[in-house]
Amino acid sequence: MRTANNRRWAVLLPALLLALGLAAGPVTAADPAAEPAATAPAGTAPAAAPATPAATAAPDASAAPTDASPAPGATPAPAGDASTRALDEQIQDLKQSVVDLNKDLFVLEEELLFPANTQVAVFVSMDVGEFFGLDSVTLKIDKREVSNYLYTPREVAALLKGGVQRLYVGNLKAGSHELVALFSGKGPNERDYRRGAALKFEKGVGAKYLELKISDRARRQQPEFEIKDWE
Amino acid sequence: MIRSFQRACMVAVLAAALGSGAARAATVVGDLAPDFALPAVAGGNVRLSEHRGDVVLLTFWSSGCSVCAAQLDALGSLQTTYRSAGLVTLAVSVDDNVDRALRYANSHPVRFPLLLDRRKDVSRAYRIERLPTMVLIDRRGRVRFVVADYRRTDNSYVAQVRELLDDPL
């Protein structure tokens, strides 16, 4: 009996220690008391390193005064301004390159995630909006909800100014599909208004662009919801 | 005796492992605040990303939480004081019963939007485990502080709000 217990302990003890080690792992990393031990190896590097950073920093530091004082009679302020301007230009260039890189990455991501032959994009546009205050749009493709977007007053104002929003982008295989859009908001006389629009469309080889168009029908004093298929 | 000791050890180990996991999961400090759009009790929708550049105090409340009423009152006066400095307060209800939340909201008028999280997507995204919980988001849209234990006498969160307001974009 005792030997059985011993055997069980022999199995359990390493598991216990392992589990404790796992549980304690992240704690020790965040534990301030453990920090010196954790930083000790890193601390040795700077201790050994000062020679190189100091050596490399020194010429720069010495170069700065020589650059800043080309003429003995010149005041130091303009030189300082020039170096600040140069630094500012460098920062602007760096920012521009980051923006360009971000744009390239975005395009690459779009191309990879939504290849042209399977891409479906749905856009929303709004005209006038006198009879309808947009609150939300729910989008279903082939009876599956793919988007439910709530509009803030700012976004509605942007749409009313002529903005077009890309509500959804996804992938669909070639063939026939059905798009259902449910619009909710405030209708004429500030009443809650909910209306749907549906479109059966054929997805071919190329990308498919669909537009949900909200417009006013002045003759009927009602909003109109239309789904337009951009060929 | 030995067996019961073994069981106790196993339970302790499991609790330690689960506890450390829960602690890791509960924190969102340092992360970009998950964006959301929620309907407001007063009408219209509110989107968090539209307040980028402001300091956002996001609080999660429920009509069944007794401390929440006091907290909402305190946040109302805080909002009045620091609105001009760029503080935006948003209170997200996690009530299952929306009618109850609406009744509560109507009986406790506040000067900031009370939002309804019907699907609990937002409270899940922020890993809310207790009420009330305050999440402080800086001007860059990053979660900086999470205050999960609100006490009427403890105003330390005001210092955190001021710290974020003092931090320029």
Which of A154, A151, A141, A136 is CA-nearest to residue A192? A136
| pTM of the shown model | 0.66
User: How many residue contacts between A and B have a Cβ separation below 8 Å?
Assistant: 48
Name the more confident of B149 and A162. A162
**Is B22 an 8 Å CB contact of chain A?**
no
What is residue A161's predicted lDDT score, i.e. its pLDDT? Answer: 92
Between CA B123 and CA B94 the distance in angstroms is: 7
For residue B110, name the pLDDT band (cuts at 50, 70, 90).
Answer: confident
- Report which DSSP code applies to B35: P
Query: What type of residue is A87?
Result: L
- Give the H/E segment covering residue A229: strand A222-230
B37 contacts in chain A (CB < 8 Å): 149-150, 152
B5 pLDDT above the threshold of 90: no
B47 contacts in chain A (CB < 8 Å): 150, 152, 154-155
- Give the H/E segment covering residue B111: none
Interface test with B, best of A17, A20, A137 (most B CBs within 10 A): A20
At B72-95, the pLDDT tens digits run 888 998 999 999 999 999 999 998
Helical axes A51-68 vs A76-113, angle rounded to 10°: 120
- Compute the average pLDDT of residues B53-70: 90
Interface test with A, best of B1, B7, B9 (most A CBs within 10 A): B9
- Identify the residue whose tokens are 């920012």: A95
Give ∠ CA A184-A186-A190 in degrees, rounded to 5: 160
Between CA B53 and CA B55 the distance in angstroms is: 7
Residue in chain A closest to B5 (alpha carbons) equals A9
Residue in chain A closest to B22 (alpha carbons) equals A23
**Is A4 an 8 Å CB contact of chain B?**
no
What is residue B43's predicted lDDT score, i.e. its pLDDT? Answer: 87
B3 pLDDT above the threshold of 60: no
B99 pLDDT above the threshold of 80: yes
DSSP secondary structure of A21-67: HHHHHHHHHH-GGGHHHHHHHHHHHHHHSTHHHHHHHHHHHHHHHHH
The pair phi, psi for residue A6, each rounded to 5°, is -60, -40
Q: pLDDT tens per residue, chain A (231 residues)? A: 444 445 555 554 455 444 444 444 443 333 433 333 333 333 333 333 333 333 333 334 444 444 444 445 555 557 788 889 999 999 999 999 999 999 999 999 988 899 888 999 999 999 877 888 899 999 999 999 999 999 999 999 999 999 999 999 999 999 999 999 999 998 888 888 999 999 999 998 889 999 999 988 878 788 889 999 987
Cross-chain Cβ contact B9/A12 below 8 Å: yes
For residue B154, name the pLDDT band (cuts at 50, 70, 90).
Answer: confident
Interface test with A, best of B10, B18, B29, B45 (most A CBs within 10 A): B45
B2 contacts in chain A (CB < 8 Å): 5
Between CA B119 and CA A177 the distance in angstroms is: 28
**Is B8 an 8 Å CB contact of chain A?**
no
Cross-chain Cβ contact A151/B45 below 8 Å: yes
What is residue A1's predicted lDDT score, i.e. its pLDDT? Answer: 42
Q: Specify the range with the lowest mean pLDDT, choosing from A169-178, A221-230, B26-35, B155-164.
A: B26-35
Distance from CA of A18 to the nearest CA of B (A): 10
- Average confidence score pLDDT of chain B: 83
Name the more confident of B108 and A213. A213
Token pair recorded at residue B104 = 């509560």
